[in-house]
Amino acid sequence: AQRVTQPEKLLSVFKGAPVELKCNYSYSGSPELFWYVQYSRQRLQLLLRHISRESIKGFTADLNKGETSFHLKKPFAQEEDSAMYYCALINYNQGGKLIFGQGTELSVKP
């Protein structure tokens, strides 16, 4: 079954510390993975997608097919990074619906 797992419900770090938000997936085929960010339960904003290999707001994520992971990383956390982060994969077998993980709340303390 297709599934996305974010093992940490809450991650708390100090400003300037490195951050790694974990995401593991289960998908038969070649996955397309995304990270979305949600500030204060407002709209979901696309942070990055693995096929574009870009860095947004200092965040990067590498797809590791061997470990079936797509962890989100940032070397130096900022207070404005505090938000909910959702990892998602797109299920082509069902029209392109997004399957989301349960989300990780990142709290960056001053």
Residues that bind another protein in the complex, under the rule CB under 8 A: 34, 36, 41-46, 49, 51-52, 86, 88, 90, 92, 94-103
Query: Using an 8 Å Cβ cutoff, are 84 and 108 in contact?
Result: no
Please report how many Cα atoms fall inside a 13 Å half-sphere around the Cα of residue 57, on the Cβ side: 16
Q: Which residue has the tokens 């990780």?
A: 104
Give strand pairing partners of 48.
Answer: 35
Q: Give me the least distance between CB of 73 and another protein, in Å please.
A: 21
Beta carbon nearer to another protein, 97 or 109: 97
| Shortest CB 31 distance to another protein, Å | 13
Structure tokens at 9: 């419900």
**Residue 25 or residue 101: which is nearer to another protein going by CB?**
101
Task: State which residue, 81 or 86, has the beta carbon closest to another protein.
Answer: 86
Q: Which is nearer to another protein, 41 or 110 (CB)?
A: 41
Shortest Å, Cβ 34 to another protein? 8
Angle at 42 between CA 40 and CA 44, to 5 degrees: 115
In whole angstroms, the minimum distance from the beta carbon of 18 to another protein comes to: 26
The CA R_g of the chain, rounded to the nearest whole Å, is 13
